[in-house]
Amino acid sequence: SASNAFSKVTNTVQGYNPLSSSDEVEEDPWYQLSRVERIIAFALCLALGAGCFSLSFFFLPLFPGKFAATFTLGSILVLVSVALLRGPLSHIKHMMSKERLPFTISYVGSMILTLYAAIGLRAMILTIIFAVIQIIALIWYVGSYIPGGISTLRYGTSYIGRRAASVLPI
């Protein structure tokens, strides 16, 4: 009878969250992964995203629609990998914050435009242009989460630009 009473209390308290009315709740109840599980899920999604990026370039010459779908799936997997580290709800809130909203719109817009150019318009040049914009937005996105990443990206792009200007006859 004591174990029966304990199981009743456990079942009653299991879904109870005293902070559910405030914004201090970090995540949904389903997101209760340990730190190690989050890192493993991050690494898995990141590896799958990289695999999708690699696979997409094999489709580019013959199947622009498959290229765009696979390339965009890779981008989504990279987004999901970062969301698994931070938590899905906090990641979405962060992406929708005032300072990140222009980036979010440009990144999601580039994914939509890549798919539209490949599947809707069937324009190879536009598909490649929007895919390049998507890559730039993804690099900027990932760099913004690494400490010192944006300044490193700025320095690296200016260095590459200076080197290219010195080599190219402009």
What pTM was estimated for this model as a whole?
Answer: 0.68
Q: Which amino acid is at 145?
A: Y
**Higher per-residue pLDDT: 146 or 106:** 106
Give yes or no for residue 78 having a pLDDT over 60. yes
User: How many other β-carbons are positioned within 10 Å of the β-carbon of residue 49?
Assistant: 20
Give yes or no for residue 8 having a pLDDT over 70. no
**Higher per-residue pLDDT: 44 or 166:** 44
Give yes or no for residue 19 having a pLDDT over 60. no
In the block, which residue shows the tokens 């949904």?
28
**Higher per-residue pLDDT: 22 or 58:** 58
Q: Which two tokens stand for residue 8?
A: 């009743």
- Residue count of the chain: 170
Q: CA 41 → CA 36, 51, 70, 98, 126, distances in Å?
A: 9, 15, 20, 28, 33
- Which H helix or E strand runs over 61? none
**Where do the structural domains in the chain lie, given as residue ranges?**
33-153
Do 65 and 118 contact (CB within 8 A), yes or no?
Answer: yes
pLDDT band at 147 (very low <50, low <70, confident <90, very high): low
Residue in 130, 91, 129 with CA at minimum distance from that of residue 111? 130
Do 48 and 77 contact (CB within 8 A), yes or no?
Answer: yes
